[in-house]
Structures are given as C-alpha cells and as structure tokens.
C-alpha cells in the first residue's frame, strides 16, 4: 500500500502545474504587452549585431576604397546632402510646435459662501418656490450626490430671498476669474502685457461686454491680443478652449495663451418644480480655473506639462443627444437646464466614439492588436463575442474624469475597468468642490499634485462631457516631478482626503 501511495505521488509530481491557479494572468498580459511594445527593438538587436561584426572586420584598405568611391561620386554626395538638408529644414519649420502648460490655478471661494447640506435644504424651503415633492427630490439627490458640506454657492443664493441680478452675476464672474488669474500671474511672474491669446469659456452667462473683455479691461491687456469668448458649450468647453488656444499658438509664435474656464450660477438657479431641472441646483457649485500655455522653447524647463493630444467628439447631429442637456422654460415660465433620462446612455455613446479615436494615438501596440483581433473574430466568426475593452491603464498614469456627478464617475470607472485609486481625484473633487463644470478637471489635477503622485513622464487623461452632446479628451505628459503651486485649492485640506463617501 505504501509503495502504491508513493507511486501515485511520483506520478502526480510529474504532471504540469495548473497554470490557471498558480500564475496570475495579469502578469502574463504584462509580459505580452512588454514583448509587443519592444518588438521592433528586439528585432533590431540582431541586425545591429551583424552590422557591428561586419564593420569590425573592415581593414584600412576597405575604408580607403570606400572613400575613393565617394570621392569620385561627389555630385551624387552633394545632391543627397542637399536633399537631406532641405528636407530636414522643411520638417523643422513646418512641424507643430510643442505647447507647454507652464502653470494653472483654481479659484477657492471664501468660507462664508459654503453651503452645507442642512443650510442648503433650509434655504430651499424658506425661499417658498419649491413644493414638498420638489424639496424631497432635492434631499434625495443631495444624499446620493457625493457632495460634501464644504462646497460653495454664490453670494446671491445666500440671501433670503435670493437676489439673482445681472450685477450679482457679474460680481460672481469677477470674483472667480480675477481670483484665479491673480494667483496665476503671481505664481508664474508673467506680466499681463505678455499674453498674446486669451480664451474664456462660460456656458450660461454671456453678458455684453463679454467675459473676455472684462479680463482685458481689468488687467489692461495689449490692444492686439487675440481674445475669444466661448458660450453655451457645456462642461466640456474647457478642453475646447485648450484646443483653440493650442491652434492659436501654432500660428502665433513665441507667445503666451491664457485659458479661463468657469461657470456662473447666480442667474441660472432654477426656482421651479420640474424634477429634471432641479438636479443642476443640487450639483453645480462655484469654481473656475486659469491656465497659462506657452509655445516658447525656453519655457520647457519650468513648465509642468506638455500637451500631447486633444480629441473632440460631437454628437449634435443626433436629436436625442442634442436635447439631452437643454436650457428651456418650464410650464410656469421659469428658466432652467433640463437633464434627459437618456443622458448616461448618450454619454456612453459619445465616450465610445471618443476613445475609438483616442485609442490608436495612445494605446500600446499590444492593446491595439488585441482589440483588432477581437473585432475581426466578432465580425467573421461570432457576432456574440464580447468586444475587447482596451486597458487604458497601460496608456495613462492618472485620470481626471469630469466631476459631473457620482453616476458619471461610476460609469467610467466600470466601463474603463479603473480602480478606486484612478477615480479618487474625481470623487474627492466632487465631494470638496461639487460640479464646477469645465474647471473640475483642473481641481482633479491639482488633487493629484497635492498628493505628490505626479512623476516625470507620467501621462494624464482629462475627459469631460458637455451639452450638444460632446465628449472631449486632453492628454498631458509631465515634464518633471510636479509639486503643487502655492495657494492651491487643496492646500489646507489635502491631509483630510481621501474621505469615505456615503453610498
């Protein structure tokens, strides 16, 4: 019996191990990714080895013979050299200039503008504009929103009754824009007169003179400045503004561009009882960001990031997508922004289109091959094959997902197969500052810096959704180990984060 048992043990020991149980498949995938990504290098090593061996076997007579051959073919050498120099010159002169992000700043309101949950609900009740059903709806939204008790609403909303006048809206815009710009100019030591391009985006508040004109007047910017004012483009307009500034920097050499991204709440608070229009009241909060971009080569040494890609997707040709975020009047004539029930499905479709364009630009060849192979198999052999979702974690080190709401962050975390750490910046920004519209992606980037997680060479994906319907992406690469700038939005509270958000 003992001999039989020993025989069984020997037989079992000679079997191959169960790799599915003993090997973590993610390491197999990492090995595959490394092999494919370095395939060209691995193939070139034998070629280089052969060349070096052949070169080492050449004697002085061979080298002299080669020189004579070139000497008697001087015309060919001169023509080849001329073509090479001319081609190199044309390439250098026409290639896109790098765009550097020198620094940016995020506005932080005064403590008296904070809107804790209880105060928000108390003010909503005391205004007398909302019925019990609407109040209960707002309460439920706030409880599930992921917002904390330190978000800010404008001064006009703290009054009883609220005072949403044009003057109050202008004051909010000035406080946010000038507050962010003052910090930006102080941190960078750039003079306002040096700014050649100014792009301002604010979706819902577009007075005359424009917001960009208000900035020109305040800082006495030069008379030939190229200024732009983007309105009605939703929460993704910040990426659009960066894209416009990038294009301008390709045309106008050796200059600075400033992008100001904000939203104005004062005149856009909804005082009716239409449920789809009450959601923005519960999510949107005061905030804004100012970004300094440069195309000067000397700024590379002090810049934080280099702009790598901007990809924009517009689904406005589809009627449902066009109306899913829509400013209109309710039956009582009160103006607000309604959110469609199809919003998340439409956002998912826009995201799919956007990453289909972005993927080939950023994903390693290993992921592209897997995606392409799955697509071929699905088309030819089996239409029920589950599509392969590329692993964007191999392309990006940090993710700045627009803090539009808890559902938006949850969906992208699930669909892109991200971890809690990858969406931490988005969740904590939503908790601390709320939905600050187009500027939220900058608060998220500031969070990552404040945590000391940004290293040289790291790539950041900023992705935002906006009315229209749009999905826009910007990819940045850190040029150094990035530390937070002075007077950052997280300076006094980063040690308290991350916090647990109640489900």
Whether 427 and 409 have beta carbons less than 8 Å apart is answered as yes
pLDDT at 20 over 50: no
pLDDT for the residue 424: 97
402 catalytic per annotation: yes
Q: What's the pLDDT tens digit per position in 147-193? A: 999 999 999 999 999 999 999 999 999 999 999 999 999 999 999 99
65 catalytic per annotation: no
CA 305 to chain centre: 13
Q: CA quadruple 480, 486, 490, 495: dihedral positive or negative? A: positive
H-state helical runs in 252-393: 275-283, 319-323, 343-362, 365-380
Catalytic residue, chosen from 268, 281, 295, 431, is: 431
What does pTM read for this prediction?
0.84
Q: What's the pLDDT tens digit per position in 304-361? A: 999 999 999 999 999 999 999 999 999 999 999 999 999 999 999 999 889 888 988 8
Catalytic residue, chosen from 201, 202, 229, 235, is: 235
Distance CA 313, CA 358 (A): 10
Distance CA 146, CA 501 (A): 6
Who contacts 490 (Cβ-Cβ below 8 Å, separation ≥6)?
432, 446, 447, 450, 484, 497
The dihedrals phi and psi of 90, each to the nearest 5 degrees, come to -60, -40
21 catalytic per annotation: no
314 catalytic per annotation: yes
422 catalytic per annotation: no
Q: Which two tokens stand for residue 290?
A: 């100012």
Q: What's the pLDDT tens digit per position in 470-499? A: 999 999 999 999 999 999 999 999 999 999
Catalytic residue, chosen from 106, 201, 229, 314, is: 314
235 catalytic per annotation: yes
Share of the chain above pLDDT 70, in %: 86
Question: Measuring CA to CA, which residue among 341, 354, 326 is closest to residue 467?
Answer: 326
Catalytic residue, chosen from 402, 422, 471, 472, is: 402
Judging by beta carbons within 10 Å of its beta carbon (0-12, 13-18, 19+), is residue 81 exposed, middle or buried? exposed
pLDDT for the residue 351: 92
Question: Measuring CA to CA, which residue among 266, 281, 288 is closest to residue 170?
Answer: 266
């Amino acid at each position: 019996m003992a001999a039989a048992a020993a025989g069984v043990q020997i037989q079992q020991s000679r079997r191959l191990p169960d790799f599915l149980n003993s090997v973590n498949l993610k390491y197999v995938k990492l090995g595959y990714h490394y092999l494919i990504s370095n395939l060209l290098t691995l193939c070139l090593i034998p070629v280089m080895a052969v060349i070096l061996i052949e070169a080492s076997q050449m004697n002085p007579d061979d080298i002299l013979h080669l020189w004579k051959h070139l000497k008697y073919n001087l015309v060919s050498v001169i023509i080849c050299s001329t073509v090479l120099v001319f081609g190199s010159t044309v390439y250098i002169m026409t290639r896109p200039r790098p765009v550097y992000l020198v620094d940016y700043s995020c506005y932080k309101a005064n403590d008296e503008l904070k809107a804790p949950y209880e105060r928000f609900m108390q003010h909503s009740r005391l205004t007398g504009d909302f019925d019990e059903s609407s109040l209960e709806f707002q309460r439920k939204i706030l409880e599930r929103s992921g917002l904390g008790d330190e978000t800010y609403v404008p001064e006009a909303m703290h009054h009883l009754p609220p005072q949403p006048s044009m003057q109050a809206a202008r004051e909010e815009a000035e406080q946010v824009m000038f507050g962010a710009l003052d910090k930006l100019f102080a941190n960078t030591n750039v003079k306002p007169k040096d700014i050649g391009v100014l792009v301002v985006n604010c979706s819902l508040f577009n007075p005359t003179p424009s917001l960009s004109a208000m900035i020109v007047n305040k800082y006495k910017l030069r008379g030939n400045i190229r200024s732009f004012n983007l309105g009605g483009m939703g929460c993704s307009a910040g990426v659009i503004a960066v894209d416009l500034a990038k294009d301008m920097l390709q045309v106008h050499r050796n200059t600075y561009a400033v992008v100001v991204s904000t939203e104005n709440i004062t005149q856009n608070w909804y005082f009716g009882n239409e449920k789809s229009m009450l959601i923005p009241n519960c999510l949107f909060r005061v905030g804004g960001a100012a970004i300094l971009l440069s195309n000067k080569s000397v700024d590379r040494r002090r810049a934080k990031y280099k702009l790598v890609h901007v990809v924009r997707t517009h689904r406005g040709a589809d009627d449902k997508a066009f109306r899913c975020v829509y400013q209109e009047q309710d039956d009582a004539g009160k103006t607000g922004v309604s959110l469609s029930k199809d919003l998340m499905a439409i956002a998912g479709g826009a995201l799919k289109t956007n990453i289909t364009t972005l993927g080939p630009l950023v994903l390693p060849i290993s992921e592209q091959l897997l995606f392409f192979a799955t697509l071929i198999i699905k088309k030819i052999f089996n239409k029920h094959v589950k599509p392969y979702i590329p692993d964007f974690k191999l392309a990006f080190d940090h993710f700045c997902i627009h803090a539009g709401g808890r559902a938006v962050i949850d969906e992208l975390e699930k669909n892109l197969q991200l971890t809690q750490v990858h969406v931490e910046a988005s969740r904590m920004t939503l908790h601390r500052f709320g939905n600050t519209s187009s500027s939220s992606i900058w608060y998220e980037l500031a969070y990552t810096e404040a945590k000391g997680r940004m290293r040289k060479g790291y790539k950041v994906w900023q992705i935002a959704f906006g009315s229209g319907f749009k999905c826009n992406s910007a990819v940045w690469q850190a040029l150094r180990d990035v530390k937070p700038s002075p007077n950052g939005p997280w300076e006094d509270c980063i040690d308290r984060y991350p916090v647990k958000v109640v489900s």
